[in-house]
Amino acid sequence: MATLCRPSVSVPEHVITMEETLELARTRHPDHPQLPLALRLIENTGVRTRHIVQPIEETLRHPGFEQRNKVYAAEAKARVPAVVRAALDDAELLATDIDVIVYVSCTGFMMPSLTAWLINTMGFDSTTRQIPIAQLGCAAGGAAINRAHDFCSAYPEANALIVACEFCSLCYQPTDLGVGSLLSNGLFGDGVAAAVVRGRGGTGVELERNGSYLIPRTEEWIAYDVRATGFHFLLDKRVPTTMEPLAPALRELARRHGWDASDLDFYIVHAGGPRILDDLSKFLEVDPDAFRFSRATLTEYGNIASAVVLDALRRLFDAGGAAHQARGMLAGFGPGITAEMALGRWQHAAVREAV
């Protein structure tokens, strides 16, 4: 069965703290009628630091969508290869061992996808399949895992590479002054992540089942308004309430697998904000500490969109992983409102080989 190996994660060198974010909001929008509310919401995110691809002075300027997209492409090409190499090393594979690349990103656009550039420059075989996904937002991390799982289920000897590249700071829009936009300015960060799903062998999460669920009639709750100035992020105030209808979907996926979603050994979920994690703890009836890796990502990096799930999983690996055969759940949440969910057991390569 396909095994999701240790992810590699990288965040940019430019850092902005919570205190700096709050001060920027105060100085740039001193007369905003809802400034106190926006400041309170930003403080409640729990985000202490975020990493961005440009210095904050450059981030706050808007040179136009064309120039921003050029920055996106240049930064992706500069930062993704090292993360990919590390993920391949962790999976003990070479580029020539990879059969498909699943690339997810919602913060810039390239055609052909970065997958073509990676194949041409990093030694992947010319027959490598490409699956670029651009419109699932934060749910795309979970979707990438699931599409890699599907591919390896169809081709049991195959290996898949997942790449998530998110530069949320390049979507900053200085003219967007709604409370949701101000909150987003203090929540989202930049990051790149990669992981390998091995068709055979490896240490990590042996994927057993995946599923997707879309909450009906919520497609406008998280969206982009695409204008001449680029991507304008739209965030409905009802988004934090979505764990109540999504928790039953997570429970149902586990039930169909013969598991109890309230009684698993590890949980790796998207951290859209503290309310998401608090509500999921409540509606799944699990200890809040179960989401400690997701909370750590949120605190240290902010919401890095599709890369959150991979970073939270990386933190589980770095904490020593889980016991052999421990049962776990992975889930990403995003536009739609969509949940991409997976179930699997922790596998240690040495134990597997001994058996």
Determine which helix (DSSP H) or strand (DSSP E) holds 74, and give its type and residue range. Answer: helix 65-90
Nearest CA to 142 out of 345, 347, 346, 338 is that of 338
Q: Is 138 a catalytic residue?
A: yes
Nearest CA to 302 out of 17, 9, 79 is that of 17
Question: Is 222:236 a contact under the CB 8 Å cutoff?
Answer: yes
Per the document, the length of the chain is 355
Measured distance CA(129)–CA(113) in Å, rounded: 12
Separation in Å, CA 16 to CA 187, 190, 309: 11, 11, 22
Measured distance CA(207)–CA(262) in Å, rounded: 19
Half-sphere exposure at residue 7, Cβ-oriented, CA atoms within 13 angstroms: 26
Q: What is the rounded radius of gyration, in angstroms, for the C-alpha atoms of the chain?
A: 19
Catalytic residue among 106, 138, 168, 171: 138
Separation in Å, CA 69 to CA 57, 113, 123, 179, 283: 18, 13, 26, 26, 40
Q: Could you give the residue numbers annotated as active site?
A: 138
